[in-house]
Amino acid sequence: MEHPANRHNPNNITPRTTHFIKNRQLNSILTATVKVNLAETPKVPLPKKVPTKVDKSASPQDSVGMQQTVDWGRTAYREAWDRQLELVENRKAGGCADTLVLTEHEPVFTIGARQGAGDHLVWTQSMLESQGIEVVKTNRGGDITYHGPGQIVGYPIMSLRERKDLHAYLRELEEVLIRTVGHFGINATRREGKTGIWIKDRKIAAIGVAVKSWITYHGFALNVNPDLAHYAGIVPCGITDGSVTSLEQECEAPPLIGQVKSRLILEFWNLFGNRT
C-alpha cells in the first residue's frame, strides 16, 4: 500500500528525509560562509613586548619633567595649607610635576615662625570677629601678614633637590614679582634687609616660604585690589618704617586680577621653568 506522503512525492522522500537534507544543506552553507569570512579577514599582528628600562639611580622627585599651574579659586587658609602638604608628599614621591598653585584666601591673619610675630596682632578677638577675620599660626618663615580677596597668593610646590639654595630661591621669587608688576608700569624693587617687593617704603608683595625634603611650599602674596583697611589689625610683617599698598593704589588704570594672574604665571615659568 502506498504511503500517503508519497502521493505527491515522486522521488519517494519522506518529511523526515526532507528535514535531514535541509539541515545538511544549511550546514554546508554556514560552513562555506565561515570559510569565506575567515579568508577575507586580515591578519592583525600581536603587539610586541617592549622592555621597560628603569633608571634606579634617579630620584622620584626628578621623574617628572614638566610643570603645571593650578588655580584653586577662593579658599580658606587651613584648607589650602592641608592641600599644599598633600602636594608636597605627591611631589616628593614623583607623582606630580613642579606646580604653581594660585588662590585667593578668605580674610585671615597668618602668624609666621619668626620670634615675637604674634605680638604684632593689634585687634582684639571681638574686633576680629566683627571683621570676619581668622587668625592662623603657621610654620612658614616671616612675621604676621594678611591674606584676603583681591590678593593673589602663590604656592610653588617644587623640588629644589638639585640646587639646595633657599636664599637663591627667595631672590628669584622676588624677581618674578618685580617683573610682574613692572609689566603694569610699576617700578618695584627689593629693600635692603627686608623680604618682599617694595615701591619706595610701600610694600606691595610679601614672601614667606618653607621646605620639606627640599620640596617648597607656602610662597608669596601680591596685592592687586584687597581691602587695605584690614592691615590696620596688625603690624604687617613687623614693619614700623613703611606701609602697605596695592596695584589698585599705584596704577592709573588698575589691571583686573585675571590679567595679573596671567602675567604672573608667564613670568614665573620664564624664570623657574628650566632651573628646578
Q: Are the C-beta atoms of residues 150 and 224 closer than 8 Å to each other?
A: yes
Distance in angstroms (rounded) separating the CA atoms of residues 238 and 116: 9
- What residue has cell string 589691571? 255
CA dihedral 13, 17, 23, 26 (to 10 degrees): -20
Give the whole-angstrom CA distance, residue 26 versus residue 255: 80
DSSP code, position 249: H
Q: Is 237 among the catalytic positions?
A: yes
What is residue 28's three-state secondary structure?
Answer: helix
CA dihedral 155, 157, 159, 165 (to 10 degrees): 20
Q: Of the residues 96, 152, 237, 239, which is catalytic?
A: 237
Instruction: Give the residue carrying C-alpha cell 606691595.
Output: 204
CA distances from 169 to 160, 165, 220, 250 (A): 9, 6, 12, 27
Angle at 94 between CA 219 and CA 269, to 5 degrees: 45
The catalytic residues are 237
